Amino acid sequence: MADQNEVLVQVRNLCVNYQTRLGPVSAVDYVSFDIYRGEILGLVGESGCGKSTFGKALMRMISPPGEIVNGHIIFEGEDIMTFDDDRLRDFRGRQVSMIFQDPMTSLNPVQRIDQHLIEAIQVHEPQTKIEQAMDRIRVLIERLGIQQRRLTDYPHHLSGGMRQRVMVGLGLVLKAHLIIADEATTSLDVIVEANLVDQLREIRDEFGVTILMITHNIALVAEVADRVAVMYAGRVAEVGSVEKVFHDPLHPYTRGLMKSVPSILLDDEEELYKMPGEPPNLTHPPKGCRFHPRCPSVMPICDHVEPTLEEVAPGRLVHCWLYQDHPEKDTETIKVLS
């Protein structure tokens, strides 16, 4: 389980922009929060909110037209923004590993599975002999539920779930401290997804690895994660334990997300809740709070003054004027959207 006294990653004022014909898009805009050692942290939000960009930024994998324009990413006491190319190559794989939605885009189709794993070891540990590497690989691959005979298979011989396990193995074989799973279960069927999720939890417990699960699947986060961070329009709306956020969401956007989750308990005549409005155009985001045009609890201050992400209770961070004081704030004038 997570040790909230031991921070693995500190993200401070992280900004990532993409240059477009219409101007820069602030995909991640002054995001700050911590990731604890040994936890499973769910990062959720609507499509285009900046989740995947944030995950890639943690590995400094943002490529043009994207650019990290501000901020610090402190990983185990070191700011990776200061790393040169050689240090970055060692950092990726040895300390942090990423699982993408489609592992076929990351696995070489003309390399066997054992060759992928051997190469990963020898790139970072060139002194390791093939026989030594294979000893480690056989133990690990069995632990991941893949028979040793499948090591000589090529990626297209494996099912989607097995390919995702190979991607997990590429991180664990180098004893990475953080695994970033970016929509890693989206392309899997429900049963395979459930098996992979159970395995991620077991891997966290057995290897002490930290997992950042980036997903739009709120129910999945509720099942497997320890904490959850909710993103909206490039900013963090709320952070807290899964139990607290899901049972008592504070930010109006989080409340809307929770109400939007389908339930088998809905009556036949009861309609699924749909949040009013649409996410903003991030080339010209609204002033003040970015959620205010859609917010059912909007106040006069919301449309021109930006709130900050504040700790309103132990472990609960919220980015909303409902929980902050300001000289302009008028708590008695609240517009309710129909």
Average pLDDT in the 193-219 region? 86
Q: CB 336: neighbour CB atoms within 10 A? A: 8
Q: What is the pLDDT of residues 71-122, one digit of tens each?
A: 999 999 999 999 999 999 989 988 999 888 777 778 899 999 999 999 999 9
Q: Percent of the chain at pLDDT above 70?
A: 92
139 three-state secondary structure: helix
Mapped onto helix, strand or coil, the DSSP state of residue 258 is helix
Q: Helix, strand or coil for residue 51?
A: helix
Within 10 Å of residue 129's Cβ, how many Cβ atoms? 10
Q: Give residue limits of the domains in the chain.
A: 1-95+176-279, 106-174
194 confidence band (pLDDT: 50, 70, 90): confident
Mean pLDDT of the chain: 88
The DSSP secondary-structure symbol of 158 reads S
- The CATH T-level fold of domain 1-95+176-279 is Rossmann fold (3.40.50)
Higher pLDDT, 162 or 336: 162
Tell me the average pLDDT across 178-196: 80
Measure Cα distances from 291 to 64, 269, 303 in Å.
28, 29, 9
State the amino acid at position 209 in one-letter form: V
Task: Kindly state the average pLDDT of the residues 133-152.
Answer: 90
- pLDDT band with cut points at 50, 70 and 90 for residue 163: confident
pTM for the model stands at 0.88
Pairing between β-strand 96-99 and β-strand 178-182 as defined by DSSP bridges: parallel
Residue type, position 206, single letter:
E
Give 5 or 126, the one with higher predicted confidence: 126
